[in-house]
A and B are shown apart, each in its own frame.
Chain A
Amino acid sequence: MLPVKFDLNEWFILIMLALGYSIMFKLPPRFPRSIVILVLLLSICIVKIVDVVWMQPPYDLYDVNDTPYYELFDFFTWFLYPPFAYFCVYFYDRQQLRGLSIGLYIVASAIFSTGLEGLAVLCHVYTYKGWKFFYSFPVYIAVITLTLAFFQFVKSYFMKPKS
């Protein structure tokens, strides 16, 4: 259950968690709490669904943390994604993006996410087996688009005028 060795990957996870959640809670609230909960849960669910298919045999494309088995820091790793999903929808909503700028925003967010993943790989949070670094970019494009579409759908329900 505990990490084999408390080294760079564990420090990376703890620092990113502290940084991500402290910024998330410092930002002035923009949406109802139910929307925030749904968006945060969606980000964890996507990771878990993707992990079930790609992290286990027969595909077995990558490992998370020190071993292929579950450990405590795998649990913490799932919580790395929700703050990023929150920032993504937060700035999307704040900037009131329309048209082509949405596409540019998604691409910029995907580049940022891929860069962060590269940093996580350097810190041995992820160990690629069959996965390649550049595969992550289209995956992030799809995930960010899905997150923004889901946010827009939920928000339109909450914000629509009551009859």
Chain B
Amino acid sequence: MAVAIVLSVSLILLLVFVLQPKNMHLFEILFDWMVFIFIYGDFFGVITARTERLTNDPNEVHIWSYFCIRFIIFPLIAIWLLDRLSIPHAWGFKLAVCALAITCLVVTDDLFDRFINLPRGPWHILFLYVEWCAILLMIYSLNRFFRSLSLKDVRRH
């Protein structure tokens, strides 16, 4: 049941994302997606010394839900945010979009942690906010770098 819900939500989000007009180029989206996969989870696990893998609940439903959340839902929200930020808007609007996206990510992350019974300390929510801000900041900086690099490459070739 849980995996069916998560999979349906993932597919709906994916469909909405594919169908809506985007400001970013396909390669930028692919780049952000892959950078997200690289940064989130293991990489952050290593740098924040949260070294436990998903070993506390060996359940097939959990691993496939985790798969959908980690490789579809989270990257889609992050890329949607970057896409919105790449359109010229007032600072207030951009801040509101950031706050909304980060809150969505934190809530989804926390719900999943509860679902798989991961140990949650008293500072869990705060840690998630800091983690997501850091991840999004890293992806945003790398996205700027890749955008300028690919524009140069396209002009050169």
Contacts and interface: CB of A to CB of B under 8 A. Distances in A.
A69 interface: yes
A77 B63 CA distance: 22
Interface in A123-141: none
A158 B25 CA distance: 13
B31 A154 contact: no
Interface in A52-108: 52-53, 55-60, 68-72, 74-75, 78
B86 interface: no
B51 A71 contact: yes
B63 A57 contact: yes
A23 interface: no
Given A32-B156, A45-B37, A56-B63, A70 B150 contact: no
A144 B61 CA distance: 29
B89 interface: no
Contacts of A33: 149, 153
Contact of A158 (B55, B59, B63, B153): B153
B66 to A, nearest CB: 7
Given A33-B149, A48-B42, A38 B34 contact: yes
Interface string A39-51: 0011011001101
B91 to A, nearest CB: 30
B67 A34 contact: no
Interface in B15-41: 27, 30-31, 33-35, 37-38, 41
Contact residues on A (Cβ < 8 Å of other chain), bracket: 20 to 34
Contact residues on B (Cβ < 8 Å of other chain), bracket: 35 or more
A45 B49 CA distance: 21
A59 B59 CA distance: 9
B53 interface: yes
A37 to B, nearest CB: 7
B153 A57 contact: no
A56 B67 contact: no
Nearest to A49: B71
B127 interface: no
A4 interface: no
B35 A58 contact: no
B88 interface: no
Contacts of A157: 27
Interface of A: 1, 32-35, 37-38, 41-42, 44-45, 48-49, 51-53, 55-60, 68-72, 74-75, 78, 154, 157-159
18 contacts: A1-B46, A32-B150, A32-B156, A34-B27, A34-B153, A37-B31, A37-B149, A41-B35, A42-B34, A48-B37, A48-B42, A52-B67, A52-B71, A55-B53, A57-B55, A59-B63, A68-B55, A75-B46
